[in-house]
Amino acid sequence: MSGQKADRFRQIDIVLLGTEWQTRALLRAQLIEEGFEVLATDTWPMMRQHLRPGEKPRLAIVDLHCLPDPEGVLNDLRTLMKRDRVLVLTAMDTVPPEAIEQLGFRVLKRPVSIGDVVTAVGRVLQEQRV
């Protein structure tokens, strides 16, 4: 099998949802640099397509900043992913961090840097190996 075909069938480690293209692109680039297979999207319907049984990523990252219907997305995620495999970046005027934690998701409270997110991803994925 050629390298291109093999790449197409590689398991996605992380699916990233973020409406702001700059943040999404920088985070995706840094995660790829760290060796992860990352699919990034700006819409919930596109992310949802990659959370089907049998094809689930190791981690879902959701940036609530400017996300339409953040409560709906989080409620859907509760049924689609194991809660400890979801990392949520908070945003002002959306879902309070305490409510996200009560849902069982991992939370990173803003302000955060790309490095903070990458470090948190590493911790989450390391815990999965234990």
Share of residues in the chain with pLDDT > 70 (%):
92
pLDDT of residue 69: 94
Sorting pLDDT into bands at 50, 70 and 90, what band is 53?
confident
Q: What is the pLDDT of residues 82-130, one digit of tens each?
A: 999 999 999 988 999 999 999 999 999 999 999 999 999 999 988 877 5
Q: How does 14-42 read in b/e, with b if 16+ C-beta sit within 10 Å?
A: bbbbbbeeebbeebbebbeeeebebbbbb
Residue, of 111 and 53, whose pLDDT is higher:
111
* pLDDT band with cut points at 50, 70 and 90 for residue 11: confident
Give the residue among 128, 28, 99 at the shortest CA–CA distance from 109: 99
- pLDDT above 70 for 2: no
Nearest alpha-carbon partner for 87 in 62, 56, 116, 57 = 62
The pLDDT, as a whole number, for residue 26 is: 96
Bridge partners of residue 108, in order along the sequence: 89
Angle (CA) 9 73 16, round 5°: 35
Residue 10: the pLDDT is 60
Strands (E), the chain: 14-17, 38-41, 59-63, 86-89, 106-108
Domains of the chain: 10-129 (3.40.50.2300)
- Residue 72's CB is within 10 A of a number of other CB atoms, namely 11
